[in-house]
Structure 1
Amino acid sequence: MTGIQYLACLWTLFITQTGFVCSDIQFLERTEGESVVLPCVIEQRNPSPFGVYLKRSWLDPREVLFKYTNSNVSVGKADDKSRISGGGDPSTHSLNVTISQLSASDTDRYYCEFLVTNPTSTDDRIPGKTEFFLLVNADAAGSVDIGLVETCSGGSAVLPCLPPHGDALAVEGVSLKRQRGRAPVEVLYHSKRHHGSSAPSSSSSSQFPVERVQLSSAPGPRGITYNLTLQQLQPDDSALYSCQLLLRGGTDTSSSLGRHVFFVSVQGGHCECSSYSTLLYALSSAVVVLLLLLLLGFVMICKGKARRSVKSLPQAPIYEEMTVVQPASRKLQPQHLEEMGSEYTNCHVKKFCPENHYESPSGALCPRADSQT
């Protein structure tokens, strides 16, 4: 029981004191000139937050906005005051931040951070329930499917390579584009060209070392699928990536990322989100297992007590049973002795004789009481 209480207290203390929540990420795509609303929300808590930040954490890490409860919004850059506003109040555990007149430079990863008073130490910083990845395109050519790939420093990321149009019937090469600023940049290119009957020639270029790039293929439900693995990634490699297959006879002059884009987020040092999640899951699993063991032990104890109570039910003692049986035996014993005496004692035993005379085995009659007198 002590171990269970200790783990439960440790788990609760970890959640409440650190305030760390591995938040979800929401992808938002907009076109230049449009607007976007970023809702900052946390769970209800006591005491309520007294302030909230909106921050950028990728291309241009900085504070975008701050709002103190019952006060006006403070914007980080003077040029953004006319296009950034906030509705709501931190004390209500929510704040909606609106960014209008978007430009490609607004592409970044955003997150909210609430400030909560802690009487015993510095103020707690509680991240919002959701992070936002905002992609602002220069034109409205078409929607983009964005996926998230998170890894640690020195880790790897697997990106599926898809053809620009239709199925990949005749794959000739692969191209990997990356976008960190306004325009994508091709960081990997490998293609094989056939010139008539001559031997095929190949051309390739890459900003990644050869040992950090690996292309693999495998049969899938829609034919052969291709995956590109980027290895030994560093925080500077965080960016938007799009891997495209080069088809035979097609052109590879496109400068866009394509319809399928992946945001590769490389965290420096330890993967805090993953490690904290693993720790939370481990603590939760330990508490659940120990509670189950405690419940099982409680059930076994109850069953043991029930069995002992059944075995220890009060039974009538032997002497009480004999006491109950003795009166009947005592009632029968005089009659039995009477019969025995009438047969063998020839009425020498002093006893009351009824009026009827019984014949003894010797033939003598039992004398009347008046004749004896």
Structure 2
Amino acid sequence: MTNGALKTLFLPFDQEILAVPSASERWLFLGAEADREISDGWRGVLTCLQPFKPDYLALQKAGFNAIPRLQGNERFDGALILIGKHRGRNEAWLALALSHVNPGGRIVVSGDKKLGVDSFRKTVEGLAPVIDRLSKHHAVAFWFDRSEQLNSDKIQALMAAPTRLENRFTTGPGMFSHTAIDKGSAMLVKHFEGRISGHVADFGAGWGYLAAQVLNYPDKLKSLALYEADFEALEAARLNVAGSPDVPVSFHWFDVNSEAISEIYDTIVMNPPFHAGRSADPTMGQGFIAAAAKRLKPGGKLLLVANRQMPYEADLKALFKSVQPLEDDAGYKIIEAKK
């Protein structure tokens, strides 16, 4: 999410078009991001829903009350929605706002023009009349009131049903590769046989595809740990990856690039993220590689898939004793690196 959309979200309040909530009010902020320009008065008002761990941690550091998921039937006097690039998750957030904001409460939405905010406004207009809008910083903000007569079926229709892949895996909007198994990950698992052993971790586990495939090789497997920054994806992984008494599985809502992992592993598998917003950012994957190098025991191995253009080889050679390309095809590369 661009900072422009965040600035635009608060612009109606800054320009006194809308009244800033009083200290006694409670507002829900969906898709929340921290920014030093948000006035201190908002800190005691907002409950910030943010399932992405790096943004969640930034919100906590900035003094906001942050949560990864709403629990129960909490009620709010109003809501802010900062939309992202995943339409399905944006619509789910809209449904949450409509479900948890008291009738008559104000809901303010903002998003980057390139991320479809105008299309999202049309979705809202099918539910409630938009009162007004403003445009600045390459973004649009608009607002409406939560109607008392709003049909609950229309709210429920915004909540996308979970996707089922291969009649086995549960996924949902906003998760990496939620409509189809990622081709690079499918290539990587072909190289698991004979290479999976000991205590294993999946860094950036998503909804659990790689981890589930690890469990297909139990002979030398002692444990499996999933590390994932998207809370909703990790919750899906809990459904998709079943351990056993012989092979316990643990799930960690975790930002691999900023939080310290304490355990040591024999094998780490990963399909590291490489997008920050809409742009490719190889430093994310480089951070994952560095974290793996720190948490592998001597002789341990990293099994990695990446897009061919990602410049990871120099980091791998600097951090590992041996680096072996296993496959290069269809725009992906599979690499085994030994500590």
Give the TM-score, by structure 2 length: 0.22
- Identify the structure with the greater strand proportion: 1
Give the TM-score, by structure 1 length: 0.20
Asked which structure has the greater CA Rg, the reply is 1
Structure number with the bigger relative contact order (C-alpha 8 A, sep ≥ 6) is 1
